[in-house]
Amino acid sequence: MDDNELDILLSEALAPPQSPADRGFVLRVERAVAEEERYRKWRAAFLRQLVSETLALAAVGGSFAFIAQVPAVEAALTEAPGLIWAALVLLLLVWALMRGRVNVLA
């Protein structure tokens, strides 16, 4: 086989098919892209929520720490340490209610 014959054979055998697009394959890619988009949106929403809730928690924690330093509050907490737990439970309840409301609104 000479060079010319080999070149012809290669270009015929290795040329991409000229047939129309494979609808099944195109559909599969479309589905994969749609799935990827859904995941991307979910991840972005999750990260947004994580950041906002972390900031809110830090703000509330800071406020509590600040209030606890007020002499009258500090004295009350020393006499009744259960107040701290009551405050935390109340805070958790408010957070759960707010979250539920946000989810309902969303």
Partner 1 sequence: MPPERDADAVLCRRAAGGDRGAFRLLVETHERRLRAFLGQLAGPDLADELAQEAFLKAWQSLAAFREEAKFSSWLCAIGWRLFVDHKRRERSEGRKRDAAAELAEREQAPAAGSRLDLARALARLEPVERAALVLCDGHGWSHEEAAVILRLPLGTLKGNVRRAKQKCREYLR
Binding site for partner 1 (CB under 8 A): 1, 3, 6-7, 9-11, 13-19, 21-22, 25-26, 28-30, 32-34, 36-37
CB 77 within 8 A of CB 84: yes
What is the closest distance, in whole angstroms, from the C-beta atom of residue 91 to partner 1 in the complex?
Answer: 40
Tell me the longest C-alpha to C-alpha distance in the chain. Answer: 102
The least distance separating partner 1 from the CB of residue 38, rounded to whole angstroms, comes to 12
Residue 91 exposed, middle or buried by CB count within 10 Å (0-12, 13-18, 19+)? middle
- Which CB sits closer to partner 1, 11 or 69? 11
